[in-house]
Amino acid sequence: MTKRGQTAKEATVADVARAAGVSKAQAARALGGYGAVSEQVLSLVVAAAEQLGYRPNQLAKSMTTGRSNSIGVIVGDIENAHFGLALRGISDEVRDAGYTVVLVNTDEDPEAEAGAVQELLQQRVAGLIVAPCSSTETAHLESAQERGRAVVLFDRGIHGLALDTVRVDFADVALQVGRVLLDAGHRRVGYVSSLRIPEPYEHGMDLGLSPVADRVGGIERAYREAGAEWDASLVKLNAASDDTLAAACAELLDQPEPATAVVCSDSLIALGVLGQIKRRGLRIPDDISVVAYDDFLWTELVEPPLTVVAQPVYDMGREAARVLLRRLGHRVPAEQLPLRPHLVRRASVGAPRARTTTGSADHR
């Protein structure tokens, strides 16, 4: 019954044709469900295929047709639940259209990202969904686009690139975040993100179409509109590793005039920041207030529950996949999934501690 040979050669159309006593062309037609095939030939071929355990070779199919059935997904860090969930959305949506997902993790490294694009293009994926780790180094994406490959950007857009981008607009919700902190009385609010940027953040710096731009901009605007002071030096980017994150926290917390509130750009950052806060023995929200982006289950279970900005990550993934599929000529629902973030107020934001103005921190 079962072949013993380890390198069991797979049966090919030619094998099936031979077994069924018809031409290769006819067997291929019967198997592939195209062209004209008589009942008789059909059943002969189907029986032979069954008997030989024929399984079409997707590689050969892709090669001849030029159409691939896989799409490439490039993310900075699958460990990040944000991407995990998005990936799930992509995967679910794309599967219905008959595609599989080739995943590459870049560790938030632009070079690795460029390499991944190359590799996936060589693998002739039908299209690419990329969560770019840099808003500035984009040559590889442009080149992919130029080669006529469908590319969809996820989360982060890039100015001046005519690439489809799926991202949610954080302007409003970020403004809300700013106001919440402002109203609570905070004047020194930190922002921590893993976004790659060559230099430290400054006022009005172009962060591309990154959500970070929206989010920082929103807070800034809230303060500006209220005529309140806003310190851009408390925006800490490049916190992609444990070390850099720790450094960012140190800069925010271990200074004469520490931040009294910190906004975390995603749940992974939040986890790290929370750890740093805990290590210093600071209490939330008495000593420091915290707001995080992404509403994952655990944010409600920590003490105190975190005030967060919820975003429909799963649907964002689906939407990215839909945009891509559309570009590939598939029929997908025309309406766009509503991708609106909203603020979930819980208990991690409070009034800043009354401090002496002498500038010497009094904790620890």
Query: What does the binding site for DNA look like in residue numbers (CB under 7 A)?
Result: 9-14, 22-26, 28-29, 31-32, 34-41, 54-57, 60-61, 63-66
Of 202-210, 285-293, 300-308, 328-336: span binding a second copy (CB under 8 A): 300-308
Report the b/e string of 173-187 with b at 16+ CB within 10 A. bbbbbbbbbbebebb
Of 173-181, 196-204, 292-300, 346-354: span binding a second copy (CB under 8 A): 292-300
Q: Which does 275 bind (CB under 5 to 8 A by kind): a second copy, DNA, none?
A: a second copy
283 binds a second copy (CB under 8 A): no
Instruction: Determine whether 130 is exposed, middle or buried from the number of CB atoms within 10 Å of its CB (0-12, 13-18, 19+).
Output: buried
185 binds a second copy (CB under 8 A): no
Tokens 């529950």, residue?
305
CB of 259 to a second copy, least distance (A): 19
CB of 6 to DNA, least distance (A): 16
CB of 139 to DNA, least distance (A): 22
Q: Which does 246 bind (CB under 5 to 8 A by kind): DNA, a second copy, none?
A: none
The Cα–Cα gap between 62 and 67 comes to 5
Amino acid at residue number 33? G
CB of 345 to DNA, least distance (A): 56
**Torsion angle in degrees (nearest 10) through CA of 76, 82, 84, 90:** -90
**Torsion angle in degrees (nearest 10) through CA of 68, 70, 75, 81:** 160
CB of 254 to DNA, least distance (A): 56
Each residue 1-20 as x (binds a second copy by CB under 8 A) or -, in order, gives: -xx-xxxx-x----------
Tokens 């780790």, residue?
133
Q: Which does 278 bind (CB under 5 to 8 A by kind): a second copy, DNA, none?
A: a second copy
Nearer to a second copy (CB atom), residue 36 or residue 301: 301
Each residue 38-57 as x (binds a second copy by CB under 8 A) or -, in order, gives: -----------------xxx
Residues 6+ apart with CB under 8 A from 17: 23, 24, 26, 27, 28, 45, 48
Q: What is the DSSP letter of 35?
A: S
DSSP string, 194-238: --B-SS---TT---TB-HHHHHHHHHHHHHHHTT----GGGEE--
Q: Which of 26, 70, 135, 348 binds a second copy (CB under 8 A)?
A: 70
128 binds a second copy (CB under 8 A): no
Nearer to a second copy (CB atom), residue 314 or residue 339: 314
279 binds a second copy (CB under 8 A): no
Nearer to DNA (CB atom), residue 34 or residue 297: 34
Tokens of 136: 């500035």
The residue among 193, 107, 162, 210 whose CA lies nearest residue 327 is 162
Q: What is the DSSP letter of 147?
A: T
Nearer to a second copy (CB atom), residue 6 or residue 358: 6
**What is the Cα Rg of the chain in Å?**
26
The Cα–Cα gap between 203 and 220 comes to 9
Q: Which of 59, 162, 334, 354 binds a second copy (CB under 8 A)?
A: 59
Judged by the rule CB under 8 A, the positions of this chain that interact with a second copy are: 2-3, 5-8, 10, 55-60, 62-63, 68-70, 77-79, 81, 84-85, 87-88, 91-92, 95, 100-105, 118-124, 146-148, 271-272, 274-275, 278, 297-298, 300-303
